[in-house]
């Protein structure tokens, strides 16, 4: 079953990063927050390692990609290597986040017409081959302050778990809204001395409405160890919030990955 609903209509009181402060009174950039929903357009490309793949080669390849001069509409980029035992649609991929689908399509058209970009793609295929032509698109939203549990590691590493979810029979958008409010309240109530490291979560709504999933639930942690700690805390103390969320939707086994920031315009090391 696939429910055709829009993340932009979710009425949860979310906070989202949308810009950086430019005040003369502030010497360093800080997140500016807006108490309205902010939907991004995220794309995933499947990737396979080439014959010249190595971590050093990948790092050099990504740096040269950033040096090409990327679209101002690109909000972020991340790479993932799956540690899940089963192969699936989410194994070894590249995620791009855009301000909108229209901006993404325009940037891709410019990329394809750019001779330097074409040359980079050909050269980098010896290291990593990504299927940009068949990329999958999603509306994406952070339903909770992604910095509530602190900043992500400075080296750009993190762990991610993506769970495919469907709404249960008779459940709709408003039911999911209320369940997320309860989940956010549970997060608010956590004694942060009980947890360690960064945590954020997001929802991905497939652009392709023929997909079996209504949404993907993405959990992002500092590393695999803190992910395990967070999952154990949820199982032990989730209580009514856990019951409500599970009554609204059913989620399959997550794809677990080690992640790495490829591009972040707010961080000099990744821009």
Tokens representing 220? Answer: 């992002």
Q: By the 8 A CB rule, do 133 and 211 touch?
A: no
Question: Residue 5's pLDDT is what?
Answer: 53
Residues of the chain where predicted confidence (pLDDT) is lower than 70: 1-37, 86-91
> How many angstroms from the chain centroid is the CA of residue 223?
15
User: 74 and 107 in contact (C-beta within 8 Å)?
Assistant: yes
Mode of pairing for the β-strands spanning 74-82 and 31-34: unpaired
Instruction: For residues 8 and 178, give the distance between their C-alpha atoms in angstroms, rounded to a whole number.
Output: 15
How far is it, in rounded angstroms, from Cα 127 to Cα 150? Answer: 33
The residue among 70, 74, 96 whose CA lies nearest residue 204 is 96
Q: What is the pLDDT of residue 165?
A: 97
DSSP 78-102: EEEEE--SS--S-SSEEEEEES-HH
Count CB atoms within 10 A of the CB of residue 264.
Answer: 18
The alpha carbon of 28 is separated from its chain's Cα centroid by a whole number of angstroms, namely 25
pLDDT in tens, 139-185: 999 999 998 999 889 999 999 999 999 999 999 999 999 999 999 99
Q: What is the pLDDT of residue 1?
A: 58
The per-residue pLDDT for 142 is 93
């Amino acid at each position: 079953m696939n429910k055709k609903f829009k993340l932009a209509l979710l009425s949860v009181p979310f906070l989202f990063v949308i810009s950086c402060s430019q005040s003369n009174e502030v010497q360093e950039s800080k997140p500016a927050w807006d108490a309205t929903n902010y939907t991004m357009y995220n794309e995933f490309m499947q990737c396979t390692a080439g014959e010249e793949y190595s971590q050093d080669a990948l790092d050099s390849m990504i740096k040269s990609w950033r040096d090409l001069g990327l679209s101002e509409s690109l909000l972020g980029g991340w790479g993932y290597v799956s540690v899940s035992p089963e192969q699936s649609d989410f194994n070894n991929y590249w995620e791009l986040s855009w301000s909108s689908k229209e901006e993404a399509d325009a940037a891709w058209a410019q990329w394809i017409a750019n001779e330097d970009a074409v040359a980079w793609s050909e050269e980098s295929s010896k290291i990593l081959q990504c299927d940009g032509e068949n990329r999958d698109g999603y509306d994406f939203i952070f339903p909770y302050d992604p910095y509530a549990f602190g900043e992500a590691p400075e080296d750009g590493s993190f762990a991610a778990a993506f769970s495919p979810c469907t709404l249960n029979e008779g459940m709709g958008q408003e039911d999911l809204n209320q369940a997320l409010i309860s989940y956010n309240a549970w997060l608010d109530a956590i004694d942060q001395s009980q947890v360690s490291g960064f945590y954020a979560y997001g929802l991905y709504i497939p652009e392709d409405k023929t997909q079996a999933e209504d949404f993907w639930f993405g959990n992002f942690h500092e590393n695999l160890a803190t992910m395990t700690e967070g999952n154990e805390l949820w199982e032990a103390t989730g209580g009514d919030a856990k019951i409500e969320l599970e009554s609204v939707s059913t989620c399959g086994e997550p794809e677990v990955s080690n992640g790495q920031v490829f591009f972040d315009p707010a961080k000099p090391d990744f821009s």
